[in-house]
Structure 1
Amino acid sequence: MSSIASLATLNARVLTIMATRSQDQHLVAQVAAEHGVSDSDSPLNYEDGSSSDSTAADPTSKRTCKVVPAFGWHPWFSYQLYDDTASNSNSEDTSTEDAFKIAHYKAVLSPTPKDPSFLSSLPPPTPLSSFIASTRKHLTSFPHALVGEIGLDKGFRLPQQWLPDDASSRDEGLTPGGREGRLLSPYRVQMQHQQAVLQAQLRLAGDEGRAVSVHGVQAHGVLYDTIAACWKGHERKILSRREKKRIAPGAEESSSSDDDDDNENEPKKKKKTAARGKPFPPRICLHSYSGSADTLKQWFHPTVPSQIFISFSTAVNLGTDGGRSKLEAVVRAVPDDRILVESDLHMAGEEAEAMLEDMYWLVCEIKGWDLERGVRTIGKNFQEFIYG
């Protein structure tokens, strides 16, 4: 939160900030209430490359970076949610609140924790239905808000509990709930539980017609399968050559999906309304994508009913030799109108902005774009991802 003051000095016109756990949902809402985007100040008009306000024409004009909020529960913290929509087959005594908490964590963590002190240090789990209800209220309050950050992570391990001396010396400037240098425990969140939390949030995004930001680490196959399960039965229809000849030119776009009844000539507001009430999100960003170029093929298959965007960050995609070695092939595999960049950093300011600039330059180099074209293209993609 201490970096929010830097919004007034950034070159970036708009940033997306994302909630990840119980402690930061209200903080994202707080920042969005003061700095959030609205219909009246849509950040840029990319149709002609010009700004929608006067500040771009006069770079000395006073302007503040706007914020797009996102509300979600990250897979790292998914164990803190209790799936109250599932039948509880636990045979342990759950007659007390503490007994219920212990039984929950034994059921969703692997290997099953045996250490009573570790189990007692974990917070009481939040009902998943309660979180979904509160998130729906946030989405109603902020019409351009996303659902995120959500996803799956096979590699994550829970940090060890706070020791008495550690808790007293923690950095009060950081939002509580993070690792903050603690050693890692051997415990992971079972994939089935992560999937249940993810799918509940995907359904919410579909119901509200909101885009989602998706985290995927060491789980690219199961992540696709989990999301694809939400649009099962709603895939776009691929027309044969004979079918295309039978219909009027341009009609195949409107009949390519059983769910897409939109008239291409209707205003975008009507199209957004039509996108609500589906079991899958209309737009999905695979953020800091670390998979292969081949894996992307399934996401961009013509039957996929969601618009898929791919974003890259120096923090993740250039953080390892393996990431750097495959980045060029992956960037080339992403369609020009679906690529995004990000800082993937926990704070705003000069460091985050430098990371954004570095990735802009790198993507432009790989794509063969000059910087002006790259910024305009990626900016237009961002606007499409947010506003639809």
Structure 2
Amino acid sequence: MTSDNETGKLQPFPWHLGVYDAHCHPTDTMSSISSLPEMKARILTVMATRTQDQELVAQTADKYGIKSGSIGSTPNSWGKEERMIPCFGWHPWFSHQMFDKDTYGDRDTLDEEAKISHYQLVLSPKHDDLSREERRLFASLPDPRPFSQFLKQTKSYLERYPLALVGEIGLDRSFRIPEVRPPESENNRDGSLTPGGREGRKLSPYRVQILHQKKLFKAQLNLAGEMQRAVSIHGVQAHGLVFETLQETWKGHEKQVLSKRQKKKQAENSNPVAEIEDKDGKKQNSPKPFPPRICLHSYSGNPEAFKQYLNPAIPAEIYASFSTAINLSDRHDAAASTALECLIKTVPDDRLLVESDLHTAGPQMDDHLEDMVRRLCEIKGWNLNEGVERLGRNWKRFVFGNRG
């Protein structure tokens, strides 16, 4: 921790410089949303993940989203009620609740038999002959909706909120879908929590087929490229496949990498445009099938895996964010601490972000952000003021691009 050399006490935290949470889920606990204006953090980047929270994120943006006509460069550029950036996306944990209309004769809804068939197709382990219990489980899962319907809704939200991002999206090889809550237990559930989350339910043996996850992931990446919005990406036990999927979206649009000799010649010829053109000579600010800026949220890959993203030919800006909740969960493990330190040192200073990944707004979220910022500053060798200012600039660049 950054401390005062004489007293050993923690230095006061410079909240006044502006702290920006790059990834969180406060709409999972709507009762906490009213605390946003009183938080020490300046802006929250709020993710949607499933059916139940898309409109909740929109409603929160209507009340607390940034509405100012111009984007300033200081934490006080927005009003006290302007506290969040909305993000709309479909999380891989819920990707089984989507289906491809082409598979079902262009239908918008599925009857029970088609619904069971859909879940039999996209969940693993896969069985050709379902037991009575498996049929009961699949029939009790949410009615799936078409990819196309969701993408149309997401595009509508992005048009409605010009500063909105796409997220949380991604791939997850480890997650198992929860068992369905018995009807008799519904009266005992915590009413303060937005429906659709795990809420302590036991996990079933079923995982979502990774190819099905990838189809939805890639469709959302394409939409983000079309709308020129940044994305926040979830990746668990799938770091290689996340990179491969992103690579597929920007294939043919890689940036021209110049040698020192070429750069010198370019400077002599006063042709600065060449470095921001792709291989086809197209300007980088036109719509593409890939997002312009990408955040690998609570990144847990190793340094070698992250180095793939440092290739100067990649036409998107790649950021990595870190949270106490995920990245410091085993902080007392010396090997894990060393690995995290090595990873954070690998991330370029101007591509580092901080997040809470918490599901409740308020003091606990502020505490988690401060904890992680102090840790990042310690690893990077920054004093607190320098670190907070750097992280703030990075967040603005990630969210707003050249507008920040």
Q: TM class by shorter-chain length?
A: 0.7 to 0.9
Matching residue of 2:34: 5
Whichever residue aligns with residue 373 of structure 1, its letter is E
Relative distance call for 1:138 and 1:323 in structure 2 (3 A) is farther
Matched residues in 2 for 1:96 and 1:203: separation? Answer: 26
2:47 is aligned with 1:18: yes
Deviations for 1:36-65, whole angstroms, at most 9, x for unmatched residues?
1134363x51xxxx545498xxxxxxx345
Task: After superposing the two structures, state which structure 1 stretch, 208-217 or 32-41, moved more.
Answer: 32-41
Q: What is the alpha-carbon distance in structure 1 between the residues aligned to residue 345 and residue 60 of structure 2?
A: 35
Q: Does the C-alpha gap of structure 1 residues 30 and 260 become closer, same or farther in structure 2, counting only changes over 3 Å?
A: farther
Aligned mates of 2:58, 2:392 — CA distance in 1:
24
Cα separation, 2, equivalents of 1:88 and 1:241: 55
Could you tell me which runs of 5 or more consecutive residues in structure 1 were left unpaired when the two chains were aligned: 56-62, 90-94, 263-273
Do structure 1's residue 283 and structure 2's residue 289 form an aligned pair? no
Measured in 2, the distance between the counterparts of 1:304 and 1:201 equals 19
For residues 243 and 88 of structure 1, do their structure 2 counterparts lie closer, same or farther at Cα, with a shift above 3 Å needed? Answer: farther
The two structures have a TM-score, normalised by structure 1, of 0.88
| Corresponding residue SS for 2:120 | helix
* Residues 57-206 of structure 1 aligned to structure 2 (within 5 Å): 63-64=80-81, 66-84=83-101, 86-87=102-103, 97-112=111-126, 114=130, 115-206=134-225
The secondary structure found in structure 1 opposite 2:69 is: helix
Residue 350 of structure 2 is aligned to residue 343 of structure 1: no
Measure, in 1, the Cα distance between the counterparts of 2:344 and 2:191.
39
In 1, the alpha carbon distance for the partners of 2:145 and 2:161 equals 23
1:366 correspondence with 2:376: no
Percent of paired sites with the same residue:
49
- Aligned mates of 1:276, 1:148 — CA distance in 2: 21
Report what 2:324 is aligned to.
314
Q: Distance in 2 between matches of 1:277 and 1:133?
A: 17
Distance in 1 between residues matched to 2:326 and 2:276, nearest whole Å: 36
How many angstroms does 1:99 deviate by?
1.2
Q: What SS does the aligned partner of 1:158 have?
A: coil
Match of 1:270 in 2: none
Distance 2:254 2:357 in 1: 31
Contact 2:68 2:78 in 1 (8 A): no
Conserved 8 A contact 2:232-2:295? yes
The answer on 1:327 being equivalent to 2:346 is no
Inter-partner Cα distance in structure 2 for 1:306 and 1:260: 16
After the TM superposition, which of the residue ranges 313-322 and 287-296 deviates more from structure 2?
313-322
Q: Give the SS at the match of 2:313.
A: coil
Residue 106 of structure 1 aligns with an amino acid whose one-letter code is Q
Bigger Cα displacement from structure 2, 338-347 vs 159-168: 159-168
1:233 aligns with 2:222: no
Higher relative contact order (CA 8 A, sep 6+): 2
Amino acid at match of 2:64: H
Contact 2:93 2:175 (8 Å CA) reproduced = yes
Structure 2 residue ranges without an equivalent (≥5): 1-29
Q: Distance in 1 between matches of 2:276 and 2:50?
A: 38
Match of 1:293 in 2: 303
Give the number of equivalent residue pairs: 360
Q: 1:98 to 1:290 in 2, by over 3 A?
A: same
Distance in 2 separating the partners of 1:224 and 1:102? 32
Say whether 1:257 aligns with 2:270.
no
Q: Distance in 1 between matches of 2:99 and 2:167?
A: 19
Call closer, same or farther: CA 1:304–1:96 in 2, change over 3 Å: closer
Q: Which segment drifts farther, 100-109 or 274-283?
A: 274-283
> 2:295 aligns to what SS in structure 1?
strand
Q: 1:365 to 1:96 in 2, by over 3 A?
A: closer
C-alpha displacement of 1:251: 3.2
Distance in 2 of aligned mates of 1:166 and 1:299: 46
Task: Report the CA distance between 1:244 and its aligned residue.
Answer: 2.8
How far apart are residue 347 of structure 1 and its match? 1.6
CA RMSD between the two structures? 2.2
Structure 2 CA distance for aligned equivalents of residues 132 and 246 of structure 1: 45
Q: Which residue of 2 aligns with 1:60?
A: none
* Shift in Å, 1:120: 1.1
CA offset at residue 123 of structure 1?
A: 1.2
- Contact 2:66/2:82 (CA < 8 Å) preserved in 1? no
Q: 1:21 to 1:260 in 2, by over 3 A?
A: farther
3-state DSSP class of the match of 2:397?
helix
TM-score by length of 2: 0.84
User: Following TM superposition, by how much is the alpha carbon of 1:367 offset from its aligned partner in structure 2, in angstroms?
Assistant: 0.7
